[in-house]
Amino acid sequence: MPGTQTATATPALPLQDTVLLPERIGELTGLDGFGLGGELLAAFLAAFLIGNLMLAMTGVAGPWAKRKITAAFTDRIAVNRLGPAGLFIIVADAVRLLSKELVIPENADRPAYDLAPIVVASSALLGFAVIPMGNGIHLADPEVGLAYVFAVSGIASLGLVMAGYASANKYSMLGGLRAVAQNVAYEIPLVITGMSVVIFSGSLQMGTIVAEQHETLVTIAGIDIPTWYALINPFAFVLFLVANFAEVGRNPFDTPEAPTEIVAGYQTEYSSVYFVLIYLGEFLHIFLGGAIIATIFLGGPAGPVLPGIVWFIIKIWAVFFATQWLRSAVPRVRIDQLIEIGWKGLLVLAFANLVLTAVIVGLIA
Amino acid sequence: MSTGLERDPAIEVSEDDLEALIGDRALARDDHLNAPGFVVRPDDVQSVLSDLRDEAGFDHLANLTAQQYADRYESIYHLRKYADPTQEVSVVVPTTTDDPVSQTAEPVFRTADWHEREAFDLVGIDYEGHPDPRRILLPETWQGHPLSEDYNQEKPQLVTLSEHANPVQPDHHDDESDTMFLNIGPHHPATHGVLHIETVLDGETVVDVDPDIGYLHRCEEQMCQQGTYRHQIMPYPDRWDYVSAGLLNEWAYARTAEDLADIDVPEYAQVIRTMGAELCRIASHMLALATFALDVYGDFTAIFQYGMRDREVVQDILEDLTGQRLMFNYFRLGGVAWDLPEPREEFIEKTRDFLDGLPAKVDEYHDLLTGNEIFQVRTHDTGILEPEVAKQYGCTGPVARGSGIDYDLRRDDPYGYYDNLEWDVVTEDGCDNYSRVLVRMQEVEESAKIIEQCLDLLEDWPEDERTVQSNVPRTLKPDADTEIYRSVEGAKGELGIYIRSDGTDKPGRFKIRSPCFHNLSALPEMSEGEYIPDLIASLGSLDIVLGEVDR
């Protein structure tokens, strides 16, 4: 079983990154000759690169792509004045958002109020550390990779509760409560469905999970269909997708924000930089959700012709695109219906899926 | 009196029957132009009104007008029947100037609650036994009653936040309870304007709802009292329900004033009026649909944008017709301002094109909206408004028809050209938010039918008979002390106007009966015990425009 592999002994798994990004940077820059300090610096540089890649993507997604995509769905034009296709709106929006006044409510619970946006944004960034993005862009590949991703993205719920509670606003409070109820209800099916993938791959290690999806399932008309888990177990894929939309609070599960009901939920009282951080955090979470889906269901960076990192980015943007599609077309469920779907529907299905997968894998293997 | 009326309220009640029913409680007669009027003592209000409702079938308190004369105050209860709105009766309750106290009608008609609050607020009549005697339109710190005779308009009114009830005061609950007081509005994404809903929540469940209105009160009634009948009042109705319903509102004034001054309207103008009014109804219902989708979907989704896109076409047609997009001012007493725009054929073709494309669009709405499972789950069995409750609150329009009340003034109290056209009144029995959506969508189709027939008529109308206005004197001075209450089917329901003439060229009293005012007052009945999202959805399904609620 590949669960026991090490970083060097994986000739059978060609997509697994044998050399991780920090090590490569260490080699290229000669930092690896400086002992622990050099290694740390190389690791920091690598993390800096990946973090900026993700932030740049949210920068494109938030002010520009989201507007363009929803405009296309709703028969509008959206930004088109600044730069080609309105792309420079990103710069204008950045300046606008950062130069706004930071209004802090009188009764805000200070350290918590200030920390919440940082917790929300950083928890998502942490998750990208173990995601293999192809072309050797992979920060770390611990054996508990998948568990780690779920764990750090779960920290975001804490940030939402902090934001909701510390804002001293009733709408924020309602939003925070909704967020935690929703995350608890959907985190479990999410993790359980993720576990069904682990049964296939036999490992929690992200590198292994990706590598295991490289084999050919069937060949149709000369085209190899790979053993992506989305194709092997589409049921789990759909479950995971639904749970993921709820987990990142997108339509039809965007009840924690619910603009027409509770104004903006937990982020009602946040302005300026703090608002940007929370907003960034939300987009990062969508992308992290996309990255997890790409990694454990869509073969990670695998794909023909184009380099792995391009395929990887295409896959996570596809998930982002799906969230915007749903946003334009699907009504929001009510909070009680949302909880009901989570506990009575998704959780049961997730366990059924897990048991079925275990039985099938046990019979075949 | 056992006339069997309680079994069939539509049966015509003769004036003799009414006189016998009210008996010696009637101090005198005070007839209005199209309703017999009975003067009763202030302490007989409840008994007379409940007899009229239970024995004679007058189950619709359409309006309550309060006014002050030199020697007395007067409350006029305008009653009519849901089954047959052409049967009307007015109950006039005079009170002395020194001690204007009158018995409340609230136990008989729930809708009297808000109406009597308004009468107290603006005119200054006290209603004895009223459950909630607060001001309604003006701030609670206001001094005096603006429509009373001795009101000093020069007196400055200080309404600072500290004098006002403080919206950010500590929670309105005692230590024992675990409910939360929440101000929804006046600045909130889903209140459709400046509406403030004081809400008490138990978790996510709504325990108590109290709509607080008046933020958009612009003294429309008083402004109309200062304008001349002939020209100066017509621009105001556009500003009541200002989202695309302008022509429907103008018709309310036109109908009332024309009946008051006995003005004829040429048939050709009636056809144009009918067509314009139905175009407005389509535009208004499109907006209602779009914003309801916004409330339920939660974002500016495809439905909202499609609704706005299709409404834009109607707006363009209305702009061609009236020269304006929002404040049309197109109707005149005795007709309309001008004929269809030239070239006529182009206008007719443009409108036909819109009508031809409409069924496909309606199908698209059904696909996206009413066919969506989540939408159905969200709107079925939420915001229940039982027909009996709806009648108690004087609900009309799509809200009443969504509760199965077959009441449409276009058919039941005909005016314009509706009588000669083929169309149906749409009702749904669901009593919930979903039914109200369905009613509006089907009414759009019915309006399209009406417009199509009007276009056919207009196209073939002989060129030398295209009279758009009859001859109306430059100055209108209806006889002193003529009183009239007239209404039309606006986009939101029965839009009525009461006018009392005082012999001059301006109305002595001008009272607007707003359908949104009544519909909104039923919101607590629809949303208490449900979740916050359902409260928002119910509010959206009422389709209120605060400009009309607050006037």
Note whether residue A5 is domain-resident. no
Helix (H, G, I), strand (E, B) or coil at B486: strand
Note whether residue A9 is domain-resident. no
Overall fold of domain B220-329+339-550: Cytochrome-c3 Hydrogenase; chain B (1.10.645)
Residue range B1-166 in CATH 3.30.460.80: yes
- pLDDT for B58-95, tens place per residue? 888 888 999 888 888 889 999 988 888 888 888 899 89
Inter-residue contact A300 to A138 (CB < 8 Å): no
Question: What is the spatial distance between Cα B526 and Cα B431, in angstroms, rounded to a whole number?
Answer: 10
Nearest CA in chain B to A70: B301
B485's tokens? 């209450």
Question: What is the spatial distance between Cα B367 and Cα B374, in angstroms, rounded to a whole number?
Answer: 12
Instruction: Write the residue in A260, A327, A334 that is nearest to B294 by C-beta.
Output: A260
* DSSP codes of every residue in B376-434: HHHHTT-S---HHHHHHTT--HHHHHHTT----HHHHS--TTGGGS-------S--SHH
Question: What is the spatial distance between Cα B326 and Cα B245, in angstroms, rounded to a whole number?
Answer: 9
Residue B300, min C-alpha distance to chain A (Å): 7
> Hey, is the C-beta of B49 within 8 angstroms of any chain A C-beta?
no
Interface test with A, best of B374, B433, B538 (most A CBs within 10 A): B374
Helices (H), A138-271: 145-166, 170-201, 206-212, 229-232, 234-247, 259-262
Note whether residue A128 is domain-resident. yes
Domain count, chain A: 1
Dihedral over alpha carbons B293, B298, B300, B302 (to 10 degrees): -50
Note whether residue A2 is domain-resident. no
Q: Which residues of A touch B (CB under 8 A)?
A: 70, 73-76, 170-171, 174, 251-252, 254, 258-263, 327-337
Nearest CA in chain B to A256: B298
Helix (H, G, I), strand (E, B) or coil at B181: strand
> Hey, is the C-beta of B531 within 8 angstroms of any chain A C-beta?
yes
> Hey, is the C-beta of B295 within 8 angstroms of any chain A C-beta?
yes
Instruction: Write the residue in B180, B302, B309 that is nearest to A329 by C-beta.
Output: B302
Mean pLDDT score of chain A:
82
Q: What is the arithmetic mean of pLDDT over B512-538?
A: 89
* DSSP codes of every residue in A101-135: -----TT--HHHHHHHHHHHHHHHHHHGGG---ST
Within 8 A by CB and 6+ apart from B68, the residues are B74, B97, B123, B124, B147, B148, B149
Q: What is the arithmetic mean of pLDDT over B450-479?
A: 87
Residue A32, min C-alpha distance to chain B (Å): 51
> Hey, is the C-beta of B292 within 8 angstroms of any chain A C-beta?
no
Work out the pLDDT band at A9, boundaries 50, 70, 90: very low
**What ipTM was assigned to the predicted interfaces of this complex?**
0.76
Work out the pLDDT band at B164, boundaries 50, 70, 90: low
Which residue segment(s) compose the domain that A80 sits in? 15-364
Phi-psi region of B384 (alpha: psi -120 to 50; beta: other; left: phi over 0): beta
Residues in chain A, total: 365
Question: What is the spatial distance between Cα B106 and Cα B393, in angstroms, rounded to a whole number?
Answer: 10
- Which of B158, B162, B164, B120 has the alpha carbon at shortest distance from B140? B164
Question: What is the spatial distance between Cα B510 and Cα B497, in angstroms, rounded to a whole number?
Answer: 7
- pLDDT for A148-193, tens place per residue? 988 888 888 888 888 888 888 888 888 888 888 888 888 888 889 9
> Hey, is the C-beta of B495 within 8 angstroms of any chain A C-beta?
no
Question: What is the spatial distance between Cα A108 and Cα B247, in angstroms, rounded to a whole number?
Answer: 50
Domain extents in chain B: 1-166, 220-329+339-550
What percent of chain A shows pLDDT beyond 70? 95
Mean pLDDT score of chain B:
85
> Hey, is the C-beta of B372 within 8 angstroms of any chain A C-beta?
yes
More confident residue, B533 or A255: B533
Task: Tell if the CB–CB gap between A331 and B295 is shorter than 8 Å.
Answer: no
In chain A, what residues touch B188 (CB-CB under 8 Å)?
A: 263
B503's enclosing H/E stretch is none
Strands (E), B2-71: 26-29, 37-40, 60-68
Instruction: Write the residue in A76, A328, A336 that is nearest to B531 by C-beta.
Output: A336
Question: What is the spatial distance between Cα B199 and Cα B226, in angstroms, rounded to a whole number?
Answer: 38
Backbone angles phi, psi at B528, to 5 degrees: -70, 130
In chain A, what residues touch B294 (CB-CB under 8 Å)?
A: 260
- pLDDT for B498-508, tens place per residue? 999 988 888 98
B202's enclosing H/E stretch is strand B196-202
pLDDT at residue B168 is higher than 60 = no
Residue A295, min C-alpha distance to chain B (Å): 30
- Which of B434, B329, B444, B343 has the alpha carbon at shortest distance from B382? B434
In chain B, what residues touch A334 (CB-CB under 8 Å)?
A: 377-378, 531, 533-534
Residues in chain B, total: 551
Residue B202, min C-alpha distance to chain A (Å): 11
Dmax over Cα atoms in chain B, in whole Å?
78
Instruction: Write the residue in B304, B375, B536 that is nearest to A261 by C-beta.
Output: B536
- pLDDT for B30-40, tens place per residue? 888 888 888 88
Instruction: Name the least confident of A217-221, A339-343, B291-295.
Output: A217-221
Work out the pLDDT band at B1, boundaries 50, 70, 90: very low
Residue B4: its pLDDT value, please? 44
* Secondary-structure breakdown of chain B: helix, strand, coil percentages, each rounded to the nearest 5: 40, 15, 40
Within 8 A by CB and 6+ apart from B308, the residues are B286, B287, B290
- pLDDT for B48-65, tens place per residue? 888 888 888 888 888 899
CA B549 to chain CA centroid, nearest Å = 8
Task: Tell if the CB–CB gap between A262 and B306 is shorter than 8 Å.
Answer: no
Q: What is the arithmetic mean of pLDDT over B194-198?
A: 87
In chain B, what residues touch A252 (CB-CB under 8 Å)?
A: 374
B112's enclosing H/E stretch is helix B112-122
- Which of B139, B147, B97, B103 has the alpha carbon at shortest distance from B122? B147
Inter-residue contact B505 to B229 (CB < 8 Å): yes
B373's tokens? 């499972």
CA B101 to chain CA centroid, nearest Å = 27
Inter-residue contact B497 to B250 (CB < 8 Å): no
Residue B5: its pLDDT value, please? 46
- Which of B541, B209, B522 has the alpha carbon at shortest distance from B381? B541
Packed helices A272-297 and A110-127: angle between N→C axes, nearest 10 degrees: 30
β-pairing verdict for A216-220 and A223-226: antiparallel
In chain A, what residues touch B368 (CB-CB under 8 Å)?
A: 329
* DSSP codes of every residue in A333-364: PPHHHHHHIIIIIIHHHHHHHHHHHHHHHHHH
Q: What is the arithmetic mean of pLDDT over A90-102?
A: 88
Task: Tell if the CB–CB gap between A74 and B372 is shorter than 8 Å.
Answer: no
Residue A5: its pLDDT value, please? 40
pLDDT at residue A12 is higher than 50 = no
Task: Tell if the CB–CB gap between A75 and B309 is shorter than 8 Å.
Answer: yes
A32's enclosing H/E stretch is none
